[in-house]
A and B are shown apart, each in its own frame.
Chain A
Amino acid sequence: MSASGIRPGRRGRSVVTGLGVVAPTGIGAARHWESVLAGKSGLGRITRFDPTGYPVRVAGEVPGFRAGEQVPGRLVPQTDRFTHFALAAAEDALADAAADPATLPEYEMAVVTASSSGGTEFGQHEMENLYQKGSSWVGAYQSIAWFYAATTGQVSIRHGMRGPCGVICGEQAGGLDALGQSRRLLDTGSRLVLSGGTDASLCPYGLVAQMSTGRLSTEDDPARAYLPFDAAASGFVPGEGGAVLVVEQADAARARGVPAYGELRGYAAGFDPTADGTAARHSVLVSVVRRALADAGLAPGDIDMVFADASGTLAEDLAEARAITEVFGPGGVPVTAPKTLTGRLYAGGAALDVATALLALSAGVVPHTAGLGRTAPGCEIDLVLDRPRQTDPRTALVLARGHGGFTSALVLGAGDRDARTK
C-alpha cells in the first residue's frame, strides 16, 4: 500500500480524451494550437484595468471572452471570472471527448481542479462595496465565489458529477497535481474526471498580491517582458486562463469508442522548502523527475520532449536547466516553453502546458519557444527555438514549480487521436 492508499499493481491506464482551452493564445484548443505553432504571443499591456501606476503593466489576457455567451446565465453574476473560464472550458472539453455526463453514472464522475488565487476579481469588487458603501452592500455570492473550490463545485453541479471532487492549491504546480489526483481517482472507482485548472487574477488586488514575490517582470515591452532561460530574463509575466481536460480510464474510453490525445503515464510531486529566488535548488526537481519516470516505467532516453516550468528568473531557470541536464545529459532532450506566449497562468499554467503537450503529441511536433534571444550562460539544454520540430515525439515530460516550493512532474504518452486531421 502506497501513501496514496492505492495498492501497487492495480493501476489502470488513464487517457485524456477531451481538451478545453481558454488562454491568452485563444479560446479553444484548435485556436490555441495554431497560435503556438505560429509563435503568436498573447502578451500585451494590461487592459482589464488601468495599469498606470503599477510596476507590472504587461500580462497575458484572454482575448474576446464573453461570459454572457460562454457561461450559463445564472452563473455569470454568481461566480468569478476564473470559474467562468473553467465552466466554458469544461463544456468544450466534454464536447471534444463526445462525453455526455447525463448518460454516465453520476457517482463515477468527479471534478478535480487546481486553484491558486481563488475568485480575486469578484472579491475585490465586494471589498470595494464594503469599504465604500458598507457591509449590507457586500453580495451574498461572495461567500461561494471567492474560494478555491468554487470552480470544482460549480462544474460538478453543472454536469451532475457527484464522485470524489476536490481542489488542489499548489500555485503553478497545481495543474499537474490535479491530473495526478485524477489518475488516482480512476484507480479507485471513478471512470471519468474533469481536471485541470484556471486562474484569473488580473485585477489590482490579484496583481498586487502576486507582486510581493518579487518575480513579476516590470519590463514594459511585451516582447521583452518574459524571457525564460534567456540572458535578459527579467521575471515572469502574469496571465489568465487555463485548461480543462477529460481524463478517463482507457478501457472506458475504448468502450465509448473515442480516441485519446494521450496517456497520463507517470506522475510525481515533491516540495523544496528552500525554494526562493536566490537559493533555488535543482535536487528536488531531479528527484521528482526521476520518480515520475520510474512511475511511468520509462528511462530518460525514452522522453522525446520536455515542457519546462520556465520561471523567467535567472536563478530558477538555471536550477531547472541543471536538473534537466543532470537527468538527461547536456542537450540530451529537446526542451520547450510555449508559455512565453501566455505568461504564467498560476493554477492554469501547468494544465495548459499539458494540453499543449498532448496537442504536440497528437500532431507529431515539438513546439518552439517563441521570442527568446541569447540563452543564459550555464543553461546547457537543447532549447527548441525559432520554429517547431517535426520529429514525431511519442512521449513528453511536463515540469511545474509553484511559489514556495511545490515541484511536480507528469509524463505523457502519445494516444491514437491525430490532431493533424482535425
Chain B
Amino acid sequence: MAEFTLDDIRRILRASAGVDEQTDLDGEHFADTAFVDLGYDSLALLELVNRIEREYGIQIPDGDLAHTQTPREALSYVHARLTEAHV
C-alpha cells in the first residue's frame, strides 16, 4: 500500500495552492493547525482531494475532506480510505 504522510500533504499544498510568507508548513504545529489558519480555503482543499485521488488511485466523495479541519485529521481520513481500498 502506498505510503501517505504529512510530507505528502505539504508537498501537494505547495504545488497546488502555493505558500507565502504567512504560511509555515514546516512549523512544529503544522499537523494540528486548521487548514483555514494555514491560509487554505475550500478551493485549496478541493485541489488537495483531486491530487490525492489521482496519485493514490482512491475515490474521495465530494465534501468528505472538507469536514477535516487539520492536516492530521486529513491524514487519518486518507489512511482509512487507503486501507479500505486495499482490503
Q: Which residues of A are at the interface with B, using a C-beta cutoff of 8 A?
A: 72-78, 136-137, 139-141, 143-144
Contact = CB atoms under 8 A, between A and B. Distances in A.
A375 B17 CA distance: 51
7 contacts: A73-B20, A73-B21, A74-B18, A74-B23, A136-B50, A139-B47, A139-B50
Point out which of A72, A76, A78, A140 has the most chain B C-beta atoms below 10 A from its C-beta. Answer: A140
Contact of B43 (A73, A75, A136, A140): A140
A74 B43 CA distance: 12
Interface residues of B, number: 16
Contact of B47 (A73, A74, A140): A140
A78 B47 CA distance: 11
Contacts of A73: 18-21, 23
A359 B44 CA distance: 41
Point out which of B16, B18, B19, B46 has the most chain A C-beta atoms below 10 A from its C-beta. Answer: B18
Nearest to A133: B54
Nearest to A76: B18
Contacts of A76: 18
Interface string B52-76: 0110000000000000000000000
B18 A77 contact: yes
Contacts of B47: 139-141
Contact of B54 (A136, A141, A143): A136
Contact of B16 (A72, A139, A143): A139
Given A136-B53, A140-B47, A140-B50, A78 B17 contact: yes
B65 to A, nearest CB: 12
Contacts of B46: 140
Given A73-B20, A77-B17, A144-B43, 17 more contacts: A72-B20, A73-B18, A73-B19, A73-B21, A74-B39, A77-B15, A77-B16, A78-B18, A78-B43, A136-B50, A136-B53, A136-B54, A137-B54, A139-B16, A140-B44, A141-B16, A143-B43
A88 to B, nearest CB: 14
A73 B18 CA distance: 6
Nearest to B39: A74
Contacts of B18: 73-78
Contacts of B43: 78, 140-141, 143-144
Contacts of B16: 77, 139-141
A145 to B, nearest CB: 10
Contacts of B20: 72-75
Contacts of B50: 136-137, 139-140
Contacts of A139: 16, 47, 50
7 tightest Cβ-Cβ pairs between the two chains A and B: A73-B20, A74-B18, A140-B46, A140-B47, A74-B20, A77-B18, A140-B43
B24 to A, nearest CB: 12
B58 to A, nearest CB: 12
A374 B47 CA distance: 56
Nearest to B23: A74
A136 B47 CA distance: 10
A19 B21 CA distance: 26
B46 to A, nearest CB: 4
B67 to A, nearest CB: 17
Interface in B1-33: 15-21, 23
B53 A74 contact: no
Nearest to B40: A74
Contacts of B44: 140
Nearest to B21: A73
B59 to A, nearest CB: 10
A74 B17 contact: yes
A172 to B, nearest CB: 32
A196 to B, nearest CB: 24
Contacts of A75: 18, 20
Nearest to B20: A73
A78 B46 CA distance: 13
Nearest to B44: A140
A72 B20 CA distance: 6
Contacts of B17: 74, 77-78, 141
Contacts of A141: 16-17, 43, 47
Contacts of A137: 50, 54
A18 B43 CA distance: 33
A73 B21 CA distance: 8
A253 B54 CA distance: 53
Contacts of B39: 74
